[in-house]
Every structure is written in C-alpha cells, then in structure tokens.
Chain A
Amino acid sequence: MFEVFLKEIKELLRDRKTLMFIVALPLLIFPVIFAVVGYMMAMANLEAEQEVHKVYIIGAEAAPEFTESVRYHKNFELVTANYANKNDIIQAIQNEELDVGIVIEAKAQPSTREQTTWQVIYNDSARINYLFRYIEELKEQYQSKVQTLSFNALGVTKESEMEFLISPIKLEKVDTADARESWGEKIGVLLPYLLIPIVLTGAVYPAIDLGAGEKERGTLETLLLTPISRTNIVLGKFLTVLSASLATASLSILSMGLWLFVARTFVNVSEFTVALSHITFVELLAMLSLLIPLAAMFSSIVLSISIYARTFKEAQNYMGPLSMLVFIPVMISVMPNMELTYKTAFIPVTNVALAIKELLKGTSEIGILAVIVGSSILLAVGLLAFCVRWFNQEKVLFR
C-alpha cells in the first residue's frame, strides 16, 4: 500500500497541473482574485462618489430650502428644463438627459401640516451609485428643520420635548457578544464557503488522475496484475488523494493568514485581528480535525467516481455537478435559525460548516464537536469501504 502511495505522491509532485491546483491556486490565485476584485470595487466606489448627477425637481417652490441644498451639493447639478410631470422625467432619464428627478407634492409647504410623499425617480440598476442616499440625507436635514419650525409654531421649543414627541420610546441594543463572537459569526458564514469547496477541489484533480487517468493511459491493468491486493491499491490511492486534499486546505488557511497579515499593513483591521487572536491553537487543531474526516469523505467519493469513469473527460463531467452539490449543505448551514445542536451535528458537511463558525466565535462545545468528528469518521469509513468494494468489481474496472 505504501509503495503505491509513495509512487503516486512522486508522480503528483511532478505534475504541473496538480501543483497548480494544490499549491498555486491557494497561495497565489486566491489572493490575486481578492486583490483584483477589491481594487475594482474600490475604484467603482470612488468613481461613484465623485460622479456629478443631473437632477431636476418638479414642485421645487414647495420646498425651496431643500431645492437650494440640492443645488449646492457637490454631487448634484440642478438642470434648468421644463419637465411637466413624472412621465417627462422618466423619458428624460431613459434619454440620458437626466440622472434623477424629484417630484415634490404642491402641499409640501410646512404651513399645510400634512404628510406628503416625494418621489425620487432614477435608474437603480447595474452599477454602484449613491443617488438615493444623498437625497435621503438632504431630505433628513430639511425634515429636521421643518419639524423644528412646526414644533415652535405649536409652542414646543425644548429639544428634549421635540425628541419625545417624535419618538417617545427609544430602544437601546446591549450586545452580550464580545468582539470575537461578533466577528466569528461574520467570518464563520464565509469561511466554510471557501474552505469546504477547497477541500473538495484539492481532491478532485488527483483523484481523476489516479483513477480514470490510469485507465485511459493503460497503466491500471498492469497495476492490477501485481501481487498486491486491490484493497491495498485503492488504499494507496485514497491516501494520496486525501494528502492532496489536506495539503490544499492547509495551504489555503496558511495563505489566508499570510495575506491577512500583509493586509494589516495597508488596511485598518485591528479590531478583526484582535478578535481572531483569541483563537487558540487547540481550536485551530479542532478545525483541522473536523476537516480531516471531511477530506476523507470527499476523497472516497471522488475516487469512486473516477474509478467508474472510462476516461479523464468522463470523470471531469461527473465532477462538475459534485462541485455544485457540495454548496448545498454549506448553504443549509447559513439558513436562518440553523444552529449547531446534537441533531444538526449529524448532518454531513453542514455540521462541519456550523462547527467552524462556533470555533471561530469561541462558543463551541466539546461534546458536539466529538459527535461531529465521530459521525464524520464513521461516514468516511463507510464511503471508503464502498470505494474499496467498488474497486474490486470487474464491471467498474472493465466497463
């Protein structure tokens, strides 16, 4: 078995495609993707912040102070035109003569003391823009002035009284979660999305090469004719796929840590890093111990599929849907009210995603973690047994 394992590892390490998936992908490509996406988003935001929008107001005379605040806002250019109604404005926006139109009801003058609805007409699709936010800010300022004037007219002059009349009860949120729990909740949603598919990705390519690839190259049959049991052959291959999967996952974690460290020098993420610095070595080991049976499960599945396939291409066709399927249990883990309990600890993959979140938050329970590791190991052993049985079937090997 170890002779097969050592030879497979040697071959994998000499394969550029495999090294690309196991080493380059997590170490270089992910950070590059994140950096490019981050840069493009930052540029898009900057552009959106600097953009000057053409605005037209119907009913400006009803709220002259608001109209003036729009005129002097750095992101607005008040256009002089003669649009009579809402439809004219929609047409003008479609013709790109205008970016936004505001329709103020005639009765909007403070003296009428009636609530009015103002319409903000703009194209809210596709790109980042802060149009509505800017207008909302100006409306809030104007509204505050109108409220003060109205209260004064009613004889209410004290600010505290005004606040009481506007909102007699104020709710204050006292969060018992510490910084780590709060950050853990946020990252704990994202990390399984990244980590669990990576564990699968790390297993897929070597599995295809070691199963269908061997069939296609005509080397599998010669291997089957050696005095090594088929069980030992498949175990040797399984260990190779598992090692590749774990190596990819470990390098990904390492890469993320490294790039986070680099990012600290450019971006202020102190609160985040302080929060995560509370994660202990034992908890990191616990995360790894959750990923090992998961990687074993994936390795058994992809190796079984690969052994069944006649060619490299056929195996790749089967792996595509599998990559999509793995997201389903991860998505279940982020569903509302989904919590790690002794029941959910038995749902494969979902349990690991939930447990990673609990570990990041620092709220994990050793009992539940043990159940997850135990159930995952049992499932991994079952899947490996299936893989061994599968490999011993002539109808699979000689399709």
Chain B
Amino acid sequence: MISVNGLKKKFKLTKDHKKGITEAQQDPREEKDYFHSVRDVHFHCEQGEVLGLLGPNGAGKTTTLRMLSTALKPDEGSIEVGGVDLVKKPLAGRKAIGFLSGSTGLYGRLTAKENVEYFAKLHGMKGAELKQRCDELFTLLDMHSFLDKRADNLSTGMKQKTNIARAVVHRPKVVILDEPTTGLDIMTTQTVINFIKGLKEQGTPVVFSTHHLDEVALLCDRVTVIDQGLTCFDGTLAAFKEQGHSEELNQAFMNILEGHRHV
C-alpha cells in the first residue's frame, strides 16, 4: 500500500515569474519569494486498489507525483510505500516504485529490448532473472515484433508498450502514472488501460493522475482531488459522487472544486 500524509513543497520564485505577477492574478500559493505548489496533500491506496488523482491544471498533481517518485524531496510530510519511508530512504523507495508519464521518453538510439534491459540492470537485475522477467513482459505486452527496432523508429503505441515494460520490469510494489494516456490514440490508450487493469488484478496499488473521468469510472476504486496544492477530497468513488452531489463524474468533480473554493 501507499500512504501520503501532510505533503508540502515550495519553490523559489524566479525574478521573471515575480515580474509577471499582478495583484489581480495573485495565486494564494504565492508568498513573498516562494510558490507553495503543494500545501497539504494526503491520501492512501491499499493493495489491489487504483487511485485516481484529479485536479485542474496547476493544482499540484505533477509535483505530488514527482515527490512520490522521489524525483523531488518534500519539504514536509511523509510518503510510505510497503513499509518503506520514501522521504528518509529514497534509494530503497525507488526499488518499490514504477513510474510512467505521458511525456516519458525512451533512449532513441537503443532498441526497445535494450531500453527495457538497461532499466532492469539499473534496478540490479542480471542474468537469468533479467532474461526471464524481460521475456515475460515482452510476451505480455506483445512486443516481440519490434524488440530489435531502435526506439526512434517505433510507433507511439510501440513506444508506450516499451515504456510500460521499462516502468514495471523490476516488479514494483506501487505503480505511479502521470497522465499516461495524454496525447495517445485510442489503441494505445487501450493498451495503457489494460495494463492498469492487469496491475489491479495482480494486487499492485496504482496511483494515476488524469483529466479523463471516463478512465476514472472504468478503473478507479478511490479518488483524490487536489486544488491549489490542497487535498479537497479523498475517498471511494461512491463517496466522490455523493460529496459531489452527482452521478455524473464531471459534474461531481466541478461541484467538489466549487465547494472547496467557497470554503
């Protein structure tokens, strides 16, 4: 399981950014020289659950996921994955996490196979274990036809399959996905959705941010809504609809945001 509590992260504002701010545009998260991107985010996701992280653009979702993936260090708060404190032991935490985003790239001059094997080696896998795991993923994701093609020459769908294999080659305890279907065609989107369903069946917790509420309806057990760096909702999908006063997810989302901003 993954548990996030009291997460906070601020960034120093650049001179250019400060120059561009007018009083009318003032964001409540801007304070003197700092921008408080994440002010208090909390949620948790149990084994076999899929959690959808929702929020408008600039709400702090990507910063939150970057902290979860250990790319950024939180200023305050705790992140625990399978009993490992990610803030205190980021290196150990990285072994427990698989991360994939819509903008994740591949090494273009390496083949699909080399890309996956490289990340397996970086996770300390070698020999028979590495080969067995890679073969397993290549079959699961139907990658054999393009394994020896350089990533630069792969289609978007092939690239995303390679990216998925890369993200989970080390058998992570938790998978984090940052807008994994943004910009993808229907076929590739389906590959990602099937992949998430597969993880859920295996009992792996998945946290993914998205703007597509149809995907949330299809996949999620829990929903967390972030607005202006704060968690304004965290609960089951049923509770989300209830608090949002609508069976329509889009409407429920809008109502929750509106309610939060009026408080």
Contact = CB atoms under 8 A, between A and B. Distances in A.
B104 interface: yes
A224 interface: yes
Interface string B91-106: 1101101010101111
A137 interface: no
Contacts of A4: 122
B94 to A, nearest CB: 4
A221 B99 CA distance: 10
Given A7-B118, A398-B66, A219 B95 contact: no
Contacts of A223: 122
Interface string A6-19: 01001100110000
Contacts of A218: 101, 103-105
A226 interface: yes
Interface string B63-75: 0001001111100
A319 B71 CA distance: 27
Contacts of A227: 91-92, 94-95, 122-124
Interface majority SS (helix, strand, loop, mixed), chain A: helix
Contacts of A3: 118, 121-122
Nearest to A222: B104
A3 B126 CA distance: 12
Interface in B17-43: none
Nearest to A223: B122
A229 B72 contact: no
Interface in B46-105: 66, 69-73, 91-92, 94-95, 97, 99, 101, 103-105
B107 A228 contact: no
Given A3-B118, A3-B121, A227-B92, A398 B71 contact: yes
Nearest to A214: B105
A133 interface: no
A225 B70 contact: yes
Contact of B72 (A217, A228, A398): A398
A394 interface: yes
B259 interface: no
A395 interface: yes
Contacts of B70: 224-225
> Interface size bucket, A side?
20 to 34
Nearest to B71: A224
Contacts of A398: 66, 71-72
Which of A7, A14, A394 has the largest count of B CB atoms less than 10 A from its CB?
A: A7
B109 A225 contact: no
B7 to A, nearest CB: 15
Contacts of B107: 7, 11, 217, 219
Nearest to A13: B109
A335 B51 CA distance: 69
Contacts of A222: 99, 104-105, 119, 166-167
A10 B123 contact: no
Nearest to B121: A3
A227 B172 CA distance: 12
Contacts of B103: 218
B121 to A, nearest CB: 5
B110 interface: yes
B104 A221 contact: yes
Contact of A394 (B73, B121, B150): B73
A10 B124 contact: no
A238 B97 CA distance: 27
B119 A226 contact: yes
A219 B101 CA distance: 11
A221 B11 CA distance: 18
B161 to A, nearest CB: 15
Given A222-B166, A226-B122, A398-B66, A11 B109 contact: yes
B110 A10 contact: yes
Contacts of A10: 109-110, 114
Contacts of B99: 221-222, 225
Given A11-B107, A15-B109, A225-B71, 8 more contacts: A3-B118, A10-B110, A222-B104, A224-B71, A226-B122, A226-B123, A394-B73, A397-B71
Interface of B: 11-12, 66, 69-73, 91-92, 94-95, 97, 99, 101, 103-110, 114, 118-119, 121-124, 150, 166-167
18 contacts: A7-B118, A217-B105, A218-B104, A221-B71, A221-B99, A222-B105, A222-B119, A223-B122, A224-B70, A224-B71, A225-B99, A226-B94, A226-B122, A226-B123, A227-B123, A228-B122, A229-B91, A394-B72
Closest 7 CB pairs of A and B: A218-B105, A217-B105, A226-B122, A14-B109, A227-B94, A219-B105, A11-B109
